[in-house]
Amino acid sequence: MAQPLTKEGPDPETRRVAPLPPVLRGFLWAAIGFIVFAALAAWLDPSRVSPYITAVGAVAGWFGAMIGWLLGIGGYEHVVKPMMGYPSPAVRTSGWRRYYEYALDHKVIGIQYLGASTGTFLIAGLIAMAMRFQLMSYRPTLFHYPQNYLNAVGIHGTLMMFTVATVAMVGGLGNYFVPLMIGTRETMFPKASGMSVWLVPLGVLTVAMSPLLGQWTTGWRGYEPLASSDGSGLLYYYLGVFALTTSSLIVAINLTATILFKRTRGMTWNRLPLFAWGILTVSLLNIIWLPEIQTTFVLGMLDKVMPLNLFNVFGQPLGYEYLFWLFGHPEVYIVVLPALAIWSEIIPVMGRKSLFARPIAVLGLVFVMLLSGMVWAHHMFTMMRFSEMLPFSFFTEMISIPTGFAYLAVIGTLWNSRLRLTTPTLLVLMSMFNFLIGGLTGLFLADVPANLQLHNTFFVVGHFHYTIIGGMVFSWMAAMYYWLPKFSGRTYSEFWGKLGAIWVFVAFNATFLNFFILGLHGMNRWVSVYPKYLQPENFWTSIAAFFLGAGFAINIIHIVWAWMKGPKVKENPWDAKTLEWRTSSPPPTKNFDTLPVVVGSFYTYGEGVPDPVEIPVSEMETKGSPG
Amino acid sequence: MGSLVVFGILWIVGSLLGEWGATAWIDSAPNGTGPYFGTASNLGLVGVHAFDFLIWVAVPIFVFVVLMILFAMFKFRARRDENVTNAPSQVRNNKAFVGTWIVISILLNLLIWLHPNASGLEQVFAAQLPANNPKPVVIDVTARQWEWIFSYPQYHITQSLNASGQDTLYMPVNRPVKFVLRSYDPFHSYAHQVDVIHGFWIPAFGVKYDVIPGETRILYLTATKLMSTETNPMARVQCSEVCGPGHPYMEANLHVVTGSQFAAWAKAQAARG
């Protein structure tokens, strides 16, 4: 039952029999798996048109590649062989190589997720730069055919949603910090967690390489019935998203179980840190909705390969759209809930003030989670029956009430605080500003008569970039600067941190405020060419977008520099109270020498407030732990 | 208490200034169409009224939060070389503030759902009743990959084309038009597997309605302004739902003309066959 994080055993260098580093071996075995499975498919289902690569073969080959990749990366030694009675080999616990192999330590896995998200953020961001370059002119320049451009849009959206927005703060920060914050030494299912992270690079490569199989033009939503007649690359969109969502699903199950069962003594629900609440609500959303979208994508894929006529005139042309948004709207709350939780985590620490109305802040997260499944069809006002418009606009308006609770708690905390205006603080305040614009423009979109004009224009594109970049990415950056001393024991330069924050804030608003105006002027989505009168505005939007891209690069370089070479800093530089700061930085493999006991609230400040944490002196605590 | 009064005054002043600026923006074009543009139809006017009303609702909320952020940054900021000290006030709850916040946010949401949303929808629904659209011009709109085809059964026009052979939409001003929206390809035998969703959108009219394969959807609309694509590029038919590689090019020119001009045009088109 117990899953030790480390084992006394031979040195990893000498025990290694594999001739290749795991990542390279994964690639090799993936190639073998692809060839074997694709050949099997070609043998069982020969095509008269193509001797080897067929739609069926590409799908079968992908599953072979997935199996080969997961086995090659370490699943063979660490999962399959132990199942057959062989002893589990040790995992590397130090050195940079541990990030490129199978790991059991939730902190290593968290950093693996963060690295994958950041790398994908760069790839999808470069695609966005290419899109903005194209849109500087009203005629084709960079993308000579619209399908090239539309395929870029689809890859940009898919990667950003499924690898960055839903992963960075959950698989990344959640895996790293939730066990530390609730006072445990490991997560509930470390083996599954160690495998799940390797589905991310597989999913990213699958989606990014999908045009090789045939260009697709549907954007990230894969709308039917277009999808069934669109390029075969959509098969790899379905499969890539399948890998990415499976990864997120394992994270959700693992972190939910960890929060439910592995909290340290005294960590009652009323004392659970806000970030853990955020991750818990997000994970419940993921557990409910990710299987739903996976089922939908399986139907879409079967429909494309067979075809089954599920989503065309012989079936239900709007069926896919309803199924997609049934997941798709909870998805945006999956993105933003950890961000809202981070605000309540950082502001009390920086303001030296007790968190205001904590129960309301938690209730806000919970009610957003509950309501998020009732608003989805507002993406389809131009498609639906009149009778559906009133209920869906009602719930859409109503979800702003619990979302507002996040603002209520932070604003109440800010009032009369002693706010230290550090880079994380600044980024949280910027995130509040951006998400406010995202929320207020949502009022216009939730209004059905106005929606009939604004739907599928750049107004909508501006709106969701304000919520996702403005809300989530800014909060992610705030969290990275806030926890940087925890990750590495080093800190960032306050000058470069603030410069980077102000840079992205200005460039972000200069870019995306223009989107609202463009949308009102009649700029629609998914166009690489557009009427000439929109060119001047698009041109300046693109210039701002390039500054935004440079701003993100500056922040990433700065964070990486600070992580590696930044000035050393004391253990708890912000004087925060939550448990992750009660161990050394970076934390040891087993997190805590002695598991802390919680005796009070982490969010209460003031004169004479006792320390919320007690470190037991008895030996009992250490004996119970493995190793 | 002092900060509260200052905040209250600044909020009221900021909101009033904001409302003044928003109103100036809204009134910078006739009929409150300043920021909205798509207002040249009866349905577009419903949309613009909703849009303007929501701007007025949004301004005080925006000013409240932004002012709070500015207060945090300047008024409540810890001095640079001060040692880390706890804030003097450690209020963890304020029933009056929380209660007011929750009540106002519920009321505000109910308000904007009822008006402009439900009230506007009532107008939209009423505008779609055949009884409210006497003697409409019937225009069959056919969407295919990637072309808009307009035919006028009452005038025996099977495909309305301009001099260079491009599809064109002509409609009379101030007279109800019944768009019959379908997605299929009249030039080929029907291929169900390549029939896709399109979006029938005229940006200047402030309304769009999707065209679904296998369904016939009706949109009643009355244009309220004389316009053409040549004079106003927003007066165009544009596909608003991604429908494949040709989607960006799926547009057609629009002419809103007087009744007599429309009759003359229809006669000439019908004569062309």
A418 and B73 within 8 Å at the Cβ level: the answer is no
CA distance B219 to chain A (A): 11
Two structure tokens written together for A283:
């994970």
**pLDDT at residue A306 in the model:** 84
What DSSP line would sit under A42-60, residue for residue? HHHS--SS-SS--HHHHHH
Q: Mean pLDDT in chain A? A: 92
Q: Looking at the domain assignment, is residue B187 inside a domain?
A: yes
Mark the ranges of chain A whose per-residue pLDDT is less than 50: 1-10, 14, 621-627
Cα gap A581→A583, rounded to integer Å: 6
Residue B84 in domain:
no
* Pair (B268, B144) in one structural domain: yes
Q: Is A352:A605 a contact under the CB 8 Å cutoff?
A: yes
Per CB-CB distance under 8 Å, the chain B contacts of A453 are: 36, 38, 44, 47, 203, 206-208
B117 and B168 fall within a common domain? no
Q: Are residues B122 and B179 in the same domain?
A: no
Query: Taking CB atoms and an 8 Å cutoff, what residues of chain A touch B240?
Result: 382, 455-457, 524-525
How many angstroms away from the CA of B76 is the closest CA of chain A?
A: 6
pLDDT of residue B191: 80
What are the φ and ψ backbone dihedral angles of B107, each rounded to 5 degrees? -60, -40
CB B240 within 8 A of CB A526: no
**Are B71 and B178 in the same domain?**
no
Residues spanned by the domain of B34? 2-77+97-127
Smallest Cβ–Cβ distance between A416 and the set B87, B92, B210 belongs to: B87
- Within chain B, strands assigned E span 137-144, 147-151, 168-172, 176-183, 198-202, 207-211, 217-222, 227-228, 236-239, 251-257
Q: How many CB pairs under 8 A join A and B?
A: 280
CATH number, position B261:
2.60.40.420
Q: What is the widest separation between alpha-carbon atoms in chain A?
A: 81
- CATH fold, domain A106-565, is Cytochrome C Oxidase; Chain A (1.20.210)
Helix (H) or strand (E) holding A597, with range, is: strand A597-598
Q: What pLDDT, on a 0 to 100 scale, did the predictor assign at position A52?
A: 75
Q: Is residue B85 part of a domain?
A: no
Contacts 24+ apart (CB under 8 A), A265-271: A265/A183, A265/A595, A265/A597, A265/A598, A266/A597, A266/A598, A266/A599, A266/A614, A267/A182, A267/A183, A267/A598, A268/A598, A270/A601, A271/A598, A271/A600, A271/A601, A271/A602, A271/A612
Whether residue B244 and residue A217 make contact (CB cut-off 8 A), yes or no, is yes
If you compute the radius of gyration of chain A from its CA atoms, what whole number of angstroms results? 25
pLDDT band at B85 (very low <50, low <70, confident <90, very high): confident
Query: What does the pLDDT read at residue A3?
Result: 47
Pairing assessment for the beta strands B137-144 and B147-151 based on DSSP bridges: antiparallel
Q: Can you tell me the distance from the alpha carbon of A219 to that of A151, in angstroms, rounded to the nearest whole number?
A: 7
For residue A371, the one-letter residue type is L
Question: Within this chain, do residues B115 and B143 fall inside the same structural domain, yes or no?
Answer: no
Residues B34 and B110 in one domain: yes
Q: Is the pLDDT of residue B139 over 70?
A: yes
Asked if the Cβ–Cβ distance from A419 to B72 is below 8 Å, we say: yes
Residues of A in contact with B46 (CB under 8 A): 449
CB A228 within 8 A of CB A303: yes
Q: Are residues B65 and B102 in the same domain?
A: yes
Q: What is the mean pLDDT of residues B11-24?
A: 96
Q: Which amino acid is at B39?
A: T
pLDDT in tens, B219-269: 999 999 999 999 999 999 999 999 999 999 999 999 999 999 999 999 999
Kindly report, residue by residue over A281-298, the tens digit of the pLDDT. 999 999 999 999 999 999
- Tell me the CB-side half-sphere exposure of residue B235, using CA atoms within 13 A: 21
How does DSSP assign A222-290, residue by residue? T-TTHHHHS-THHHHHHHHHHHHHHHHHHHHHHHHHHHHH-PPTT--TTTS-HHHHHHHHHHHHHHHHH
Is residue B83 included in any domain, yes or no? no
Cis peptide before A307 (omega within 30 of 0): yes
Question: What confidence score (pLDDT) does residue B81 get?
Answer: 56
3-class secondary-structure state, position A429: helix
Distance of alpha carbon A204 from alpha carbon A46, whole angstroms: 29
B149 and B106 assigned to the same domain: no
Task: Indicate yes or no: CB of A453 within 8 angstroms of CB of B38.
Answer: yes
Higher pLDDT, A491 or B188: A491
Find residue B157's DSSP bridge partners. B152
What is the DSSP track for A439-482? HHHHHHHHSHHHHHHHTTBHHHHHHHHIIIIIIIIHHHHHHHHH
Burial class of A536 by CB neighbour count within 10 A (0 to 12, 13 to 18, 19+): exposed
- Cβ pair A297, A238 in contact under 8 A: yes
Q: Which of B3, B59, B196 to mutate to test the interface with A (most CBs of A within 10 A)?
A: B196
| Set of chain A residues whose Cβ sits within 8 Å of the Cβ of B38 | 453, 520, 522
Do residue B195 and residue A313 have CB atoms under 8 angstroms apart? yes
Backbone angle region of A97, left / alpha / beta, with phi > 0 → left and psi within -120 to 50 → alpha: alpha
Q: How far is B170 from chain A (nearest CA, A)?
A: 20
> Domain tally for chain B?
2
Kindly report, residue by residue over A368-423, the tens digit of the pLDDT: 988 888 898 999 999 998 889 999 999 999 999 999 999 999 999 999 999 999 99
Q: Does residue B32 carry a pLDDT above 90?
A: no
Question: Model confidence over A332-353: pLDDT tens digits?
Answer: 999 999 999 999 999 999 999 9
Test mutation, A234, A408, A453, A609, chain B, max B CBs within 10 A: A453
Comparing C-alpha atoms, which of A284, A281, A367, A294 is closest to residue A326?
A294
Residue B89 lies in a domain: no
Q: Indicate the burial class of B31 (C-beta count within 10 angstroms; 0-12, 13-18, 19 or more).
A: middle
pLDDT at A47: 81
In this prediction, what percent of chain B has a pLDDT beyond 70? Answer: 98
ipTM score of complex: 0.96
> Cα(A327)–Cα(A392) distance, rounded to whole angstroms?
15
Contacts of A352 in chain B (CB under 8 A): 78, 84-87
Contacts (Cβ under 8 Å, ≥6 apart) of A86: none
* Residue B29, in any domain of the structure: yes
Q: Do A432 and B69 touch (CB under 8 A)?
A: yes
* Minimal C-alpha gap between B271 and chain A (Å): 32
Three-state DSSP at B252 gives: strand
- How far apart are the C-alpha atoms of A355 and A232, rounded to whole Å? 52
Q: Cβ separation of B116 and A360 shorter than 8 Å?
A: no
The verdict on a CB contact (< 8 Å) between A531 and B50 is no
Q: Looking at the structure, tell me whether residues B156 and B239 fall in a common domain.
A: yes
Tell me the pairing of strands B207-211 and B198-202. antiparallel
Query: Å from B154 to nearest chain A CA?
Result: 28
Nearest CB to B213; choose among A312, A358, A607? A312
Please give the pLDDT value at position B82. 62
How many other CB atoms are found less than 10 A from the CB of residue B242?
29
Domain boundaries, chain A: 22-89, 106-565
Co-location of B19 and B112 in the same domain: yes
Kindly state whether residues B155 and B225 are assigned to the same domain. yes
- Please state the rounded mean pLDDT for residues B126-138: 96
For residue B78, the model assigns a pLDDT of 87
Instruction: Please give the pLDDT value at position A626.
Output: 46
Beta-carbon contacts of residue B135 (< 8 Å; ≥ 6 apart) = B175, B176
Whether residues B225 and B140 fall in one domain: yes
Question: Between β-strands B137-144 and B176-183, what pairing exists: parallel, antiparallel or unpaired?
Answer: parallel
Question: B38: which residues sit within 8 A by CB, 6+ positions away?
Answer: A453, A520, A522, B44, B47, B48, B203, B204, B205, B206, B207, B234
